[in-house]
A and B are shown apart, each in its own frame.
Chain A
Amino acid sequence: MGALITVAKREFAGYFATPVAAIFLIIFLALVAAITFFIGYFLERGNADLQPFFNFHPWLYLFFAPALSMRLWAEERRQGTIELFLTLPIPLWAAVLGKFVAAWMFLGLALVLTFPMWVTVNVLGEPDNGVILASYLGSFLMAGGYLAIGSCLSAATKNQVIAFVLTVTVAFLFTAGGAGFLSDLVAEFVSKSVLDGIAGVSVLPHFNQIVKGMIAFKDLAYFVALIVAWLLATMVLVDYKKAG
């Protein structure tokens, strides 16, 4: 546990060692606001909820999560520091989880900083704050899922750009698999059972349930399973790849 916290602390502070953290936060928050107001018609809808805000989170994470996760392992391998890192008395699980937690906390921080949206909607009307809280939780869990994918694919290469592109691609499949417009698009070429299979592992149906205020165990379990599975894959990959 101590090792996990040590790793997470170093990694988290690492985001702030360069202007990366500030730039990331500013752009993320600006984009969240712009999308919510201009694409989501937050004001025009006349509803006191944050649906238009949360609806875009999967698509935002699609790019922002890989930007945070891409360096987690790729940079260790490129710099050669992985050899130092993995010969310190840190168990592999703590190394993998610590790095993931750092990225997750950072994205969590970005999410917390969207609180003016919550303030706004409470000033303008009387939203169901329970649903909003649930949505934040769902969004945070979903962010974890994307970052876990990114962690794994960052361990697959020593090039951050490749890690980024791979993660966006895989995360896109995990997102778009459940989006109606895309399954319609490929419905002609792919059988129904394959489509259902893809939709079944997609984050969207699960997230949409939570945003509607319906917190079911299976949706939460889905995100936890997503994170655990990709982190286990990260462990396997880190262990396997260090030899090469």
Chain B
Amino acid sequence: MADMIVADALVKDFGAHRAVDAVSLTVKRGEVLGFLGPNGAGKSTTMKMLTGFLKPTSGRAEIMGHDVAVDAMAARRMLGYLPEGAPLYPDMTPWGFLHFCAETRGLRGRDRTAKVTAAIERTNLEGVVMQTIDTLSKGFKRRVGLAQALLHDPDVLILDEPTDGLDPNQKHEVRELIREIAPEKAIVISTHILEEVDAICSRAVIIAAGKVIADGSPAALAERSPLFNAVAVLLPKDMAAAGKAALEALDQVAEVRVQALADGLAKLIVAPKNKQTILNTVAGALADANVEAISIRPEAAALEDLFRQLTRGTEQEAA
């Protein structure tokens, strides 16, 4: 299938500072690309170039085969974009705002009303559509921004931190929504919530200091971390030393990290050698050593660990 979003060696300089350094990506239909990186890594700048809002210093971007610089109108028609911070016109109501957006997209009359109503239902805005936007909570504002991006049922969605500022329920709803529409579309979302990437993205791209430093499925990326297939053991603090010693003695274990927790508890993170599965081995070793663990479970922080490893020390002022 053709690439619906293409970034070809995008570079953006702000004065002497290179914010984005030769970022290339392609996104196909059905893919949800999670764009990860520390603040100021160049995520938003890259997305702004993908939408054609910012002109790249060099390189080019395409939406559905239309160069965003040359054939801007055609590209924008096929694009739904949620800018960083979901900026909206504070004096308008969601109803008026969405009608305005629909009209700029050439929707008229009954068709327009139908599309606006559908977007309102999709994002659960029914209760607030007649309130001015500046009276809405952050969560509602974000959803108005999402409604605007989804309004015309675009093939391509570029969403800059779509769940930022939402409560856990709202986050869940937005993720469900993205998952639901994903098969029909090419989607890029940026986030710094790693569980979100695991939850909805088919692909994760990690960017730091303007460069792509990792690109693959979340599982494939997690595999690169030493914590892949790691096991987390929760146990009373006074058992921690004994547990650590017992586990470090195992051939299959590469490393044991100890984290002190509240309430007299501690957590052991047990990293395996050669990415092997060690859950049962760990459980057995602890039982043999008479260490009573409260829980033993797979440690899910591999992606987070990789993210930290790759991006540590690259943090910069946001451009």
Residue ranges of A at the interface with B (Cβ–Cβ < 8 Å) = 2-3, 6-7, 10, 13-14, 17-18, 79-81, 83-84, 86-91, 242-244
Q: What residues of chain A lie closer than 8 Å to B127, measured between beta carbons? A: none
Q: What residues of chain A lie closer than 8 Å to B88, measured between beta carbons? A: 79, 81, 84
Choose among B48, B76, B84, B91 the residue that contacts A89 (Cβ–Cβ < 8 A): B76
Q: 1/0 per residue B181-224: CB within 8 Å of A?
A: 00000000000000000000000000000000000000000000
Number of interface residues of B (CB under 8 A): 31
B51 and A87 form a contact (CB under 8 A):
yes
- Does B101 touch A at the CB level, under 8 Å? yes
Residue with the highest number of chain A CB atoms closer than 10 Å, among B55, B92, B103: B103
**B68 — nearest CB in chain A belongs to which residue?**
A87
A83 and B91 form a contact (CB under 8 A):
no
Q: What residues of chain B lie closer than 8 Å to A6, measured between beta carbons? A: 100, 103-104
A88 and B105 form a contact (CB under 8 A):
yes
- Does B79 touch A at the CB level, under 8 Å? yes
Residue ranges of B at the interface with A (Cβ–Cβ < 8 Å) = 14, 48, 51-55, 73, 76-77, 79, 81, 83-85, 87-92, 96, 100-101, 103-106, 132, 145, 148
B89 and A79 form a contact (CB under 8 A):
yes
A89 and B73 form a contact (CB under 8 A):
yes
Known contacts A2-B106, A6-B100; is A87 also within 8 Å of B91 by CB?
Answer: no
Known contacts A86-B53, A87-B76, A89-B77; is A18 also within 8 Å of B91 by CB?
Answer: yes
**A243 — nearest CB in chain B belongs to which residue?**
B54
Choose among B77, B79, B91 the residue that contacts A14 (Cβ–Cβ < 8 A): B91
B54 and A242 form a contact (CB under 8 A):
yes
> Cα distance A91–B106 when bound, in Å?
13
Write 26 A-B pairs (CB below 8 A) sorted by A numbering: A3-B104, A6-B103, A7-B104, A10-B100, A14-B91, A14-B92, A17-B92, A79-B88, A80-B87, A81-B87, A81-B88, A83-B48, A83-B83, A84-B83, A84-B145, A84-B148, A87-B53, A87-B76, A87-B79, A87-B81, A88-B101, A88-B105, A89-B73, A89-B105, A90-B104, A243-B55
> Cα distance A83–B48 when bound, in Å?
8
A17 and B105 form a contact (CB under 8 A):
no
Q: What residues of chain A lie closer than 8 Å to B106, measured between beta carbons? A: 2, 89
Q: What residues of chain B lie closer than 8 Å to A81, measured between beta carbons? A: 87-89
> Cα distance A18–B83 when bound, in Å?
26
> Cα distance A3–B77 when bound, in Å?
13
> Cα distance A208–B72 when bound, in Å?
44
**B93 — nearest CB in chain A belongs to which residue?**
A17
> Cα distance A84–B133 when bound, in Å?
15
Known contacts A17-B92, A89-B73, A91-B73; is A80 also within 8 Å of B103 by CB?
Answer: no
B241 to chain A, nearest CB (A): 53
> Cα distance A89–B85 when bound, in Å?
21
Main secondary structure, interface of B, reads loop
Residue with the highest number of chain A CB atoms closer than 10 Å, among B76, B104, B132: B104
B87 and A242 form a contact (CB under 8 A):
no
B83 and A80 form a contact (CB under 8 A):
yes
> Cα distance A242–B14 when bound, in Å?
12
Q: What residues of chain B lie closer than 8 Å to A87, measured between beta carbons? A: 51-53, 76, 79, 81, 83
**A3 — nearest CB in chain B belongs to which residue?**
B104
> Cα distance A149–B125 when bound, in Å?
40
A1 to chain B, nearest CB (A): 12
A9 to chain B, nearest CB (A): 8
B170 to chain A, nearest CB (A): 21
Q: What residues of chain B lie closer than 8 Å to A3, measured between beta carbons? A: 104
B190 to chain A, nearest CB (A): 14
> Cα distance A243–B52 when bound, in Å?
11
Choose among A2, A7, A83, A90 the residue that contacts B53 (Cβ–Cβ < 8 A): A83
Q: What residues of chain B lie closer than 8 Å to A86, measured between beta carbons? A: 53
> Cα distance A3–B102 when bound, in Å?
11
Q: What residues of chain A lie closer than 8 Å to B54, measured between beta carbons? A: 242-243
Q: What residues of chain A lie closer than 8 Å to B104, measured between beta carbons? A: 3, 6-7, 88-90
Known contacts A17-B92, A84-B81, A89-B105; is A79 also within 8 Å of B87 by CB?
Answer: yes
Closest 5 CB pairs of A and B: A80-B87, A17-B91, A83-B83, A89-B76, A88-B104
Q: What residues of chain A lie closer than 8 Å to B85, measured between beta carbons? A: 80
> Cα distance A80–B145 when bound, in Å?
12
> Cα distance A10–B76 when bound, in Å?
20
> Cα distance A7–B103 when bound, in Å?
9
> Cα distance A81–B104 when bound, in Å?
15
Q: What residues of chain A lie closer than 8 Å to B84, measured between beta carbons? A: 80, 83
B36 to chain A, nearest CB (A): 21
Q: What residues of chain B lie closer than 8 Å to A2, measured between beta carbons? A: 103, 106
> Cα distance A88–B54 when bound, in Å?
14
Q: What residues of chain A lie closer than 8 Å to B79, measured between beta carbons? A: 87
> Cα distance A77–B51 when bound, in Å?
17
**B97 — nearest CB in chain A belongs to which residue?**
A10
20 more CB-based (< 8 A) A-B contacts, given A80-B87, A84-B145, A87-B83: A2-B103, A2-B106, A6-B100, A10-B89, A10-B92, A10-B100, A13-B96, A17-B132, A18-B91, A79-B90, A81-B88, A83-B53, A83-B87, A84-B148, A88-B76, A88-B101, A88-B104, A89-B105, A243-B54, A244-B14
